[in-house]
Amino acid sequence: MDNRPIGVFDSGLGGLTCIPNLFRQLPEERVIYFGDTARTPYGSKAVSTVKAYTNQIADFLAAQNVKMMVIACNTISSTCLPDLRKRFPDIPILGIIEPAACRVAESCNMESRIGIIATKVTIASGVYTASIEAMHPGLSVFCKATPAFVPLIEEGIIDNEIMDLTIRYYMDDFVKENRLDTLVLGCTHYPLIRKNILKIYPQLKIVNPSYEIVEKVKQVLQDERMLAERNDRENIFYASDLSENFVNMIQNILDTEKSDLILKFKNLDL
Ligand code: DGL
């Protein structure tokens, strides 16, 4: 048994899309979340910058004595996972791409037409394609960087025409030309536009890595005998910029009132 919190982090609010399912699957666990809202998006930045920011977040979470780190960000998972594991050899660190690739490998076959949408950094890393190919060689995988989604989502521009037009701009040709039947939401912000995507392309079967990673967290905690016993201490949500927008979005995503949340400002540059 281990009652210490799980550290979950992202460049911004996207990683929050993992949290409701994590609370459902593992109600005894406590979470310390960090969203680098002051410096998001990471997905179009140089990999060296993503690595430097990520080390600051991971150092902060390690100082909070987390028992596990969950990288609820594809961009960071695709670029920083091996370095982070070297930096913290005693803390289990889970990336989000491997569980998603595993789901694709298990659920798709040689007839499947699989699309991956993600940030520029994630797509350029080639990690999704390589992981799927390693687990199920020969599957048809097509990738597309969709960099404007994250800034729009961070701004709360979701249920409207601007988002729908942006989806069509990136995806109409991508879906049609590759005859896609499956779509991996390769960025943890994208589950927030899942409904918009399905409204436009109802034929797509969606793989949501924000969901898949929670299964992996559960499995590792069980295997390592690190599950928590019921504890009543609260979850803490840190952000490097506590904007009004972030506060609104976190309430929506977690379906809770601000008064029920412990929100804290933490600027890693200070
Ligand atoms: N939510 C992130 C991801 O999964 C990062 C988005 C960004 O900062 O560009 O890739």
Please report, in tens digits, the pLDDT of each residue of the chain (270 residues total): 999 999 999 999 999 999 999 999 999 999 999 999 999 999 999 999 999 999 999 999 999 999 999 999 999 999 999 999 999 999 999 999 999 999 999 999 999 999 999 999 999 999 999 999 999 999 999 999 999 999 999 889 999 999 999 999 999 999 999 999 999 999 999 999 999 999 999 999 999 999 999 999 999 999 999 999 977 778 999 999 999 989 999 999 999 888 889 999 999 875
Active site residue 187: yes
Closest C-alpha among 166, 119, 161, 110 to residue 143? 119
Coil/strand/helix, residue 35: strand
Per the listing, tokens 């210490």 go with 4
| CA 113 – CA 1 distance, rounded (Å) | 43
**Other C-beta atoms within 10 Å of 234: how many?**
12
Q: What is the pLDDT of residue 269?
A: 78
Q: With a 6 A CB cut-off, is 154 part of the ligand 1 pocket?
A: no
What span, in angstroms and rounded, lies between the C-alpha atoms of 206 and 107? Answer: 11
What is the overall mean pLDDT for the chain? Answer: 96
Q: Are 41 and 12 in contact (CB under 8 A)?
A: yes
Which mutation among 33, 54, 98, 150 tests ligand 1's pocket best, with the greatest number of atoms within 8 A of CB? 150
What is the dihedral sign for C-alpha 106, 7, 58, 69?
negative
